[in-house]
Amino acid sequence: MVYVLSIASAIAFAFASLLQLAATKDRSDDLNMRPGLLFSLFKHGGWLGGIALDVVAIAFQILALAFGKVAVVQAILSLGLVVSIVSAPYFGFNKLSSRISWLSLAAGFGVGVYILLQPAQAKDSYRMSIVLVVAVFVGMVALIPHFLLKGASRHYRAISLSIIASVLVGLASVLERILGLRVVALGLFRGAFAPNTLVLIVLGLEALLITQSAFQLGELHVVLPIISIGEPIVSFVFARVLLGERLWAPGLMGLLAFVAIAGSLSSVYVLGRHAMSELGGLGPVEGEDAEGT
């Protein structure tokens, strides 16, 4: 069930990204990193459809995290970029080369090997107070680069925002794991109404603004790969530090698992770089204006 929910979440996130990317490119730079950017996007039907898919994807992700490790779920979600790229021709973009197909297979194969070699673990171990302090601290610090890099080029601002978005979404996966565990143990109402849920919502809204701002500013062959590989890497780190998850077994099996996931994420990065060039970027299809009409 964990695998099915994770795959469903990856597909929903992928389609959501395609819809959102098209909407952000024609927004004014004056709105970047401001709530007004999100308000302006509410006028775009495609973007709203992407947000609806994001909600569905997050629901699947929380359910998957309730029964599976962060390391497993996030590894599968890293294939979301593969799904986006493979699906792009059906959204009006050019057909991709066979090289892209081989990179997609390599990424999926690496994740599969990593999952098969995952060590057994009884349960996660965490202290809610520490998790919340870390989440609040990271959420506050995440805003600092925006003010420090106001005079920088669009390229470097987009890179910094992409990295920050990866950190926030990766950390959010830890909070989603805790939320899922609480809902399973205590029921929907008692499990959901807790301080970590409020922090998760705030962190999610911040990540949404920063992600859309990165989409707006950056070349997509730079932004998408950074977010796609940055999120699982960050989630692995926080899962290990805050939840005590074992990422791989000791010895040869652990080494093979590390090589597999490293190879998979490398394939995703190269895939994103090359595919965006072949597609010419992901934006509004021909005949569609900034308002999605």
Tens of pLDDT along 23-77?
676 666 677 777 777 777 777 777 788 889 989 999 999 999 988 889 889 889 8
pLDDT digits (tens, 9 = 90+) for 166-202: 999 999 999 998 888 888 888 878 888 888 889 999 9
Q: What is the mean pLDDT of the chain?
A: 82
Q: What is the pTM of this model?
A: 0.80
Alpha carbon of 55 to those of 37, 191, 217: distances in Å? 19, 19, 24
Residue 6's pLDDT is what? 92
Residue 285's pLDDT is what? 42
Split at pLDDT 50, 70, 90, the class of 15 is confident
Split at pLDDT 50, 70, 90, the class of 103 is confident
Q: Which residue has the higher pLDDT, 281 or 86?
A: 86
CA–CA gap between residue 150 and residue 199 (Å, rounded):
27
Residue 92's pLDDT is what? 60
Alpha carbon of 191 to those of 60, 180, 186: distances in Å? 17, 8, 5
Location of structure tokens 């965490």: 126
pLDDT of 93 strictly over 70: no
* Tokens matching residue 280: 């010419």
Q: Helices marked H in 117-153 — which ranges?
A: 128-141, 144-148
Residue 64's pLDDT is what? 92
Q: How many other CB atoms are found less than 10 A from the CB of residue 266? A: 15
Nearest-Å Rg of the Cα atoms of the chain is 18
Split at pLDDT 50, 70, 90, the class of 5 is very high
pLDDT digits (tens, 9 = 90+) for 117-137: 888 776 778 888 899 999 999
pLDDT digits (tens, 9 = 90+) for 194-204: 888 899 999 99
Q: Spell out the residues 6+ positions from residue 238 whose beta carbon is closer than 8 angstroms to its own.
A: 70, 134, 170, 171, 173, 174
Element (H, E) at 48: helix 45-67
Q: Spell out the residues 6+ positions from residue 49 whose beta carbon is closer than 8 angstroms to its own.
A: 19
CA–CA gap between residue 166 and residue 180 (Å, rounded):
21
Q: Helix, strand, coil shares of the chain as percentages rounded to 5?
A: 75, 0, 25
Residue 122's pLDDT is what? 67
Chain Cα centroid distance, residue 29: 23
pLDDT of 265 strictly over 80: yes
Q: Which residue has the higher pLDDT, 96 or 169?
A: 169
